[in-house]
Amino acid sequence: MPAKGHAEWLGDLRSGSGTFTAGDTINGEYSAKSRFEDAPGANPEQLIAAAHASCFSMALAGGLADAGTPAESVRTDATVTIRFVDGTPTITTIALHTVGSVPGIDEETFKAAAQGAKEGCPVSRALAGVGEITLEASLA
């Protein structure tokens, strides 16, 4: 089933603003100030972070279940960093931090499962052009 999103931008880059919709229920507003100056509103990097965190969590939960050690929970934070590279805004790093509650598994096995999820999750694969994607994984 294809996933859909929509965005509309009105005006120029500096003073304009936009709205977005993801699926049927997620929507918000964004602007250059919300993206580059920490003003209220959303920005595309937050949407990428949320997509990456949710996809990774699902992939990790799936891998753990397939290995016979289903998770009670997997919580993942993703931090997407945008920097100017040669004068162009560029996503330079994504940091994933995940904590799992997984009965019957040791830390080393959990970290290996998390690394496999990082490599196999569709969003991680789509973001392969990002310079650095780090992973910190631990059990609750």
Residue 115 confidence (pLDDT):
98
Residue 1 confidence (pLDDT):
81
pTM of the model: 0.93
Q: In what order do the strands lie in the sheet with 132-139?
A: 73-85, 88-101, 132-139
What residues does 27 pair with on adjacent strands? 21
pLDDT means per 10 residues in the chain (140 residues)?
94 96 94 92 96 98 98 98 94 98 97 98 96 97
